[in-house]
Structure 1
């Protein structure tokens, strides 16, 4: 049975129909759904939850919806948590894309956005947290500060960057089933949508080997 309480109290989400947001961001959901076009974002997520275990795309689509509907600051923080899965949650950072992205979340100023932009320019392209910093840059709706401020980011690009960083967390899932890991990412997103910080959601551990 679906726990409808999971999708209530998403106070950070905009009061717009979920499918309308997906259409506005040019985002296609792969899961076959029968849902009222006027359904809220929470109701859309609940409909997708009902397909988990039945459709292989349900978890991925839930991550897509969260990526494109969380407000920018919350979405970037969600992506930072996923970057931390790779970099290490206990690591103290003083520079780099993840440090810049987290700094922007804590204080979303023009100065911190500029630092996030600079971090994306200096970091190697295979840096596991570069998309988190790019999300902080695109959150304002343009490609960057200064000369790039007049260049608007196309609809959906910000959410795609967040989605890409969140999925990067799967690189460290190890022996944990990928669907279980994505379930943890979804729970984090929902917690953030309710006003939490996502840190209370435990990272899943591999199933113990059966005793001989």
Structure 2
């Protein structure tokens, strides 16, 4: 088995990432001391531990790449006509990805609030906001985000996107989204992955 080169995931051991979130029992049983992130992802896919795999990639990717992944997934679950609030949320999150400055992070939060945090697009925008430098609405009062917030929002966005078309499509959507996440982790943009 040829190991995939995940250039965006800097941790050498899967345990450095898996300790950041709660793995399922099956996921825990697949985790060995020396397993690399790429090997662990392959094991999770083989055992159909798709939720664990999504979480693992979300926590392993840098914030910009993870937020981009959430944006791709949010866009893919929309029909040809995305509702205006979701469209604004994804556009705001993408603006932060393209230019990760605090002004764009704050704009993403405003767009996320408009979705009532009920959609994949809203959580993609939340990921952008939680990736910023300050959670406070006041510029002179700095409230640093917890390092795990972005990954939580990204995983939430992806899970919501996967369930968008009902239970029958969840497994297929998760598999597609995982392929996108792997492509991003390999240095790609995730767009070439076939739905």
Q: Give the TM-score normalised by structure 1.
A: 0.77
Q: Matches of 1:148 and 1:123 in 2, distance apart?
A: 27
Secondary structure class of the residue paired with 1:33: helix
Residue 59 (structure 2) pairs with residue 68 (structure 1): yes
- The residue number in structure 1 matching 2:74 is 83
Contact 1:85 1:172 in 2 (8 A): no
Q: How does 1:177-196 map to 2 (within 5 A)?
A: 177-196=169-188
Aligned-pair CA distance for 1:181: 2.0
2:31 pairs with 1:39: no
Pair 1:50-2:42 in alignment:
no
Structure number, greater radius of gyration: 1
Aligned length: 192
Cα RMSD (Å) of the superposition? 2.7
Unaligned runs of 5+ in 2: none
Q: Taking structure 1 as reference, are residues 155 and 105 closer, same or farther at Cα in structure 2, changes over 3 Å only?
A: closer
- For the Cα contact (< 8 Å) 1:96–1:123, is it kept in 2? no
Q: How does 1:173-212 map to 2 (within 5 A)?
A: 173-174=165-166, 176-203=168-195
Provide the C-alpha distance between the structure 1 equivalents of 2:118 and 2:140, rounded to a whole number of angstroms. Answer: 23
Structure 1 unaligned segments of length 5 or more: list them: 53-57, 204-212
2:14 aligned with 1:22: no
Give a deviation string over 1:144-181, Cα, whole Å, max 9, x none. 56459632333433211100101111233458543222
Higher helix proportion? 2
Assess if the C-alpha contact under 8 Å between 1:13 and 1:70 holds in 2.
yes
Equivalence map 1:50-199=2 (5 Å): 50-52=46-48, 58-88=49-79, 96-140=88-132, 142-144=134-136, 146-147=138-139, 150-174=142-166, 176-199=168-191
- TM-score by length of structure 2 reads 0.83
2 CA distance for matches of 1:123 and 1:148? 27
